[in-house]
Amino acid sequence: MPGKFEVYTDKKGEYRWRLKATNGRQIASSGEGYKARADCMKGIASLQKNAPGAKIIEEEAAPKKAPAKKKAVKKKS
């Protein structure tokens, strides 16, 4: 059984969607509210249409900076 889309209204009264896996865990969300339910449904339709062929791009982590060199401080007598 595939996952499911849930459409709901947020605290501002805007429509949002979330995609849940078969185990009930949320795996994606609209990320923005829609004033009209029809626009929310268009967002879901767009994802359903375009995601099957989506490429997976793995970004490389930025190189770590070398630790700062410590300088010895001479005590004044």
Q: How confident is the model at residue 21 (pLDDT cuts 50, 70, 90)?
A: very high
Is residue 39 assigned to a domain?
A: yes
Instruction: Spell 14-47 as b/e; 16+ CB within 10 A means b.
Output: bbbbebeeeeeeeeeebeeebeeeeebeebeeeb
pLDDT tens-place string over residues 5-19: 999 999 999 999 999
Task: Look up the CATH number of the domain holding residue 36.
Answer: 3.30.160.160
Is residue 70 assigned to a domain?
A: no
pLDDT tens-place string over residues 45-70: 999 998 887 787 888 877 777 777 76
Is residue 20 assigned to a domain?
A: yes
Is residue 24 assigned to a domain?
A: yes
Check residue 75 and give its pLDDT: 67
Q: First-to-last CA distance in the chain?
A: 78
Number of domains in the chain: 1
Instruction: Give me the domain span that covers residue 33.
Output: 4-49
Check residue 65 and give its pLDDT: 75
**14-26 average pLDDT score:** 95
Is residue 41 assigned to a domain?
A: yes
